[in-house]
Structure 1
């Protein structure tokens, strides 16, 4: 898969699958490290409560060890997960719809026609804000579609573009 995969049909603007900004990989890694720290802190609190109440037996030790091992293992494999998540996440803004593709083993493709869109908004966590990235969220009656991270200025332009195309699609009905 290349940055500009083409399906071979329709307008060129509609067939270009775009990648997310490269720095989203760093954001994903930092978010995972934060999540790991939260898991480990929860394990520590769990252990402290169990020890202070004399509940520290085989099963509580096993639960705490498994939770801690899961968090550390997930963090250790995160660079590989991030590499594949980035490589297989694409989006396309067409004249009539928004399309996203994600996943390597478990693939998901979503096409959202503009005439089904109810509203579009943006989200930005503190790590994304630090790296100048924003998530665009497109809401329909049945589902939401996300473009995980775009440059903040591009995200604002994209929201405006989608809103204009939604208005045009509704006028065509």
Structure 2
């Protein structure tokens, strides 16, 4: 997921670092088409990564909802069985005990599944967040180096605006 974005940014870094130097200057010659293609690929990879993270989150939510529905069905079945057994005087206490056990198990299973789904989603989102932070850091570093090397901030050139945290 994040690897594709990192790979495209690494290709962009290699394109700039291996570009032919302009004589008597800190500037270099970069093929505009290649650079724009790599930037477009990085942007698309970020979009794909975001969509994948949203898909994972939605899938986990569906799993949680199914688990809650299953728990509700188990509880309803236990209540129905308890009502049936309540009519029998000798087994009333046993029915109440078993119903409570089933309800506790269903709730425990639902909570465990919910925790597992939350942990999975959190891990995926954390991985995505780490990738985004790393990518932003790399982009910021590349822009700073380019700015320092080309003195973009010291002249009246039309450089792209800086993003501030």
TM-score with structure 2 setting the length: 0.38
Q: Is the strand fraction higher in 1 or 2?
A: 1
Structure of greater Rg: 2
Q: Is the helix fraction higher in 1 or 2?
A: 2
> Relative CO higher for 1 or 2, CA cutoff 8 Å, sep ≥ 6?
2
TM-score with structure 1 setting the length: 0.36
